[in-house]
Amino acid sequence: MIEMNDRKELFNDIKKIVVKIGTSSLITKDGKFNREFANDIAREVSKLKSKGKDVILVSSGAVGIGCEILDFKERPQSIPLKQATAAVGQSLLMHEWSNVFEKHGLKVAQILLTYDAFSDRKTYLNLRNSMSSLLELGVIPIINENDPVCVHEIGETFGDNDTLSAMVSSKVEADLLILMTDIDGLYTKNPKKAKDAIKIQVIEEITPEIESFGGGASEKGTGGMKTKLEAAKIAQKSGCYMVIASSEEKDLISKIMSGEDIGTLFLPSKKIEKNKIRWITLAKPKGKIIIDEGARSALFDHKSLLPRGIVDVEGDFDTGDIVALQTGDEIFAKGITNYTKKELEKIKGKNTNEIEPILGYKNYNEIIKSENIGIIKK
């Protein structure tokens, strides 16, 4: 087990920190913005800034605050109503954050993101550059999912900003991601229901057993432990430490930075993905290519995808788009395709030397080159 001195040593050189604050932490039980908690966060961030650290906040709570303003007794279920509620709550959310940081002489900037921001390479790079500029100016970026425009399809949301915070951490090459939640770490069972639940202190690799410990969502938010584990996978591949800890812990951020044994610590992977592969794995795919087991094994051996191994294609994609790669019911990788869906429908299952006779041309031997494939699950 990693002791306090070890954690302190691990965090000695940390420069850039992303702090994700969930709805259950930021909104009180009666549905109001928790100003006392927000003031504590601003105070801790101010301390970090004085030590030369860069801090980015990923803040949930827009829907929760919107419910309070609109006098809703529970979170809306219909998508249009959820969008409207988020739009109402977002402005007040930023107003509240601006007020608490102003007391410490700090300015904030609102950044609303959708999944598409990570799918387009140019947008991806521009966002990273603008984030860097804000940090250089001493401004605290406060990021939230752009609910009014991106909740239109179930599965396209980030999961109470857990996945979003990890993607942001990856984008800005953060050293540490802190997920503040209503549970003080990852347990073998739900600690609210099982007395024999054991907290896991340090996780080096997310195994199937670790994944089985993911539970349901908290009452006020939408992200349970499952989304936090997905966030941890992204953080680990990006070379970023991640800590899941309880927001009820006083001076939580300071205690984590000082090396106290708080929450569950996820260690970075020894093999860190290159920026291009990181972008591919984070991007939203335009379609799907189903391949056979032989092709899957070849990809794990760092080989390219050839038409012979393709079983079927789904979606609507063009040359240069990101596509998901699937075997059976499992999506295990993403890649940049050299051919359109219409072209692949004609050449799937064929040998490479058959591409030109079928299409009348052959731009590439490979459907997806090995250097353009990002493995997300082995």
Q: 366 vs 287, 309, 372, CA distance in Å?
A: 18, 11, 11
CA 49 centroid distance within chain: 24
Last residue of a domain, one of 215, 249, 276: 276
Give the Cβ contact number of residue 276 at 10 Å. 13
Query: Cα(148)–Cα(145) distance, rounded to whole angstroms?
Result: 9
141 and 230 share one domain: yes
What per-residue confidence (pLDDT) applies to 271? 66
What per-residue confidence (pLDDT) applies to 238? 86
What is the extent of the structural domain holding 345? 285-375
Dihedrals phi, psi of 14, to nearest 5 degrees: -70, 130
Q: How many domains does the chain have?
A: 2
Q: Give kind and range of the element (H or E) at residue 167.
A: helix 162-171
**CATH code for the domain in which residue 336 is found:** 2.30.130.10
What per-residue confidence (pLDDT) applies to 58? 95
230 and 163 share one domain: yes
DSSP E strand stretches across the chain: 16-21, 54-59, 108-113, 140-145, 176-181, 186-187, 199-200, 202-203, 241-246, 264-266, 287-291, 310-315, 322-327, 330-336, 373-375
**CATH code for the domain in which residue 101 is found:** 3.40.1160.10
Query: Cα(97)–Cα(111) distance, rounded to whole angstroms?
Result: 13
DSSP E strand stretches across 26-139: 54-59, 108-113
pLDDT tens sequence for the chain (378 residues): 454 447 778 788 899 999 999 888 888 877 788 999 999 999 999 999 999 999 999 998 888 888 888 988 888 888 788 888 888 988 999 999 999 999 999 999 999 887 777 777 777 777 888 888 899 999 999 998 876 555 444 334 555 688 889 989 988 889 999 999 888 899 888 787 888 888 898 998 888 888 888 754 444 443 478 889 989 999 998 889 999 999 999 999 999 999 888 999 999 887 666 777 877 888 889 999 999 999 999 999 999 999 999 999 999 998 888 999 999 999 999 999 999 999 999 999 999 999 999 999 998 899 999 988 999 887
Query: Cα(105)–Cα(124) distance, rounded to whole angstroms?
Result: 30
Structure token pair of residue 60: 């949930």
What is this structure's pTM?
0.74
Query: Cα(339)–Cα(306) distance, rounded to whole angstroms?
Result: 11
Q: 33 vs 75, 114, 289, 307, CA distance in Å?
A: 15, 24, 45, 55
What per-residue confidence (pLDDT) applies to 155? 38
309 and 240 share one domain: no
258 and 305 share one domain: no
79 and 201 share one domain: yes
What per-residue confidence (pLDDT) applies to 223? 43
What per-residue confidence (pLDDT) applies to 159? 52
**Residue 368 and residue 304 in contact, taking contact as beta carbons nearer than 8 Å:** yes
Q: What is the residue whose two structure tokens read 């596509």?
A: 323
200 and 346 share one domain: no
37 and 167 share one domain: yes
Query: Cα(150)–Cα(246) distance, rounded to whole angstroms?
Result: 28
What per-residue confidence (pLDDT) applies to 20? 95
37 and 168 share one domain: yes
Q: Give kind and range of the element (H or E) at residue 94.
A: helix 79-102
